[in-house]
């Protein structure tokens, strides 16, 4: 998924940014995957004269139906991916020279980017921001019921609303006590899984 922060810039800038991020995504995502992670999202912020390139990552094992606030990622992992990506980015002539690379984990109230992300979090409270107003609103929150053929069904205070995914600018989980508790348990399971794999590797060795 491509996300922009235009900072009040014109649509022509938006189109150029679209092409830039798509190009960067195709380049960076395979590199991230080779290191055992998945690129959740690539995003560009414009802060004055500085371009901030954000690459959000999670561990590949986070997709094993585990709901982790940090995506199985710690500060050391982010630093590792940053060191791998920086030399590649520095060689690109189409990226501004005054850019800053920011590698981060998704966080508990993580963004939902791909269809697989949405399916993974069916039954959870999510918040949507729209490209164009929907039902007179710029955003909407509710329980995700199902997603099929790029159409989401959201339970909003007991009313089931269908939303075209193409009209969704951003989507993220709603941070609440239920999500925090599930995330905590999932992290415990992930740590247990890593320990078991470590023991298996030592035994096989």
Q: Is the pLDDT of residue 164 over 70?
A: yes
CATH homologous superfamily for 2-104? RimP-like superfamily, N-terminal (3.30.300.70)
Domain 115-174, what fold?
SH3 type barrels. (2.30.30)
pLDDT tens digits along 1-14 = 334 444 444 434 44
CA distance 141 to 102: 28
Give percent of the chain with pLDDT exceeding 70. Answer: 81
pLDDT tens digits along 102-119 = 999 888 889 998 898 999
Question: What residue ranges do the domains of the chain occupy?
Answer: 2-104, 115-174
CA distance 113 to 169: 10
The pTM for the full model equals: 0.76
**Which has more confidence, 167 or 8?**
167
**Which has more confidence, 153 or 61?**
153
For the stretch 187-193, contacts whose Cβ atoms lie closer than 8 Å and that sit 24 or more positions apart, written own/partner, are 187/68, 187/69, 187/70, 189/66, 190/59, 190/61, 190/62, 190/66, 190/68, 190/72, 193/61, 193/64
Give every CB contact of residue 25 below 8 A, 6+ residues apart in sequence.
2, 39, 42
């Amino acid at each position: 998924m491509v996300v922009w922060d235009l900072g009040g810039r014109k649509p022509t800038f938006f189109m150029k940014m679209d092409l830039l991020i798509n190009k960067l995504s195709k380049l960076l995502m395979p590199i991230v995957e080779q290191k055992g992670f998945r690129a959740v999202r690539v995003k560009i912020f414009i802060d004055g004269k500085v371009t901030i390139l954000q690459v959000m990552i999670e561990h590949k094992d986070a997709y094993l139906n585990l709901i982790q606030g940090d995506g199985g990622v710690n500060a050391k992992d982010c630093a590792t991916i940053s060191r791998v990506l920086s030399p590649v980015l520095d060689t690109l002539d189409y990226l501004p020279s005054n850019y800053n690379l920011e590698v981060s984990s998704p966080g508990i109230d993580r963004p939902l980017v791909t269809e697989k992300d949405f399916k993974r979090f069916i039954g959870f409270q999510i918040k949507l921001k729209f490209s164009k107003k929907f039902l007179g609103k710029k955003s909407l929150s509710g329980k995700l019921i199902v997603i099929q053929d790029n159409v989401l069904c959201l339970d909003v205070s007991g009313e089931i609303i269908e939303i075209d995914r193409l009209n969704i600018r951003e989507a993220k989980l709603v941070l609440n006590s239920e999500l925090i508790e599930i995330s905590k348990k999932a992290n415990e399971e992930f740590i247990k899984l890593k320990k078991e794999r470590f023991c298996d590797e030592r035994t096989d060795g």
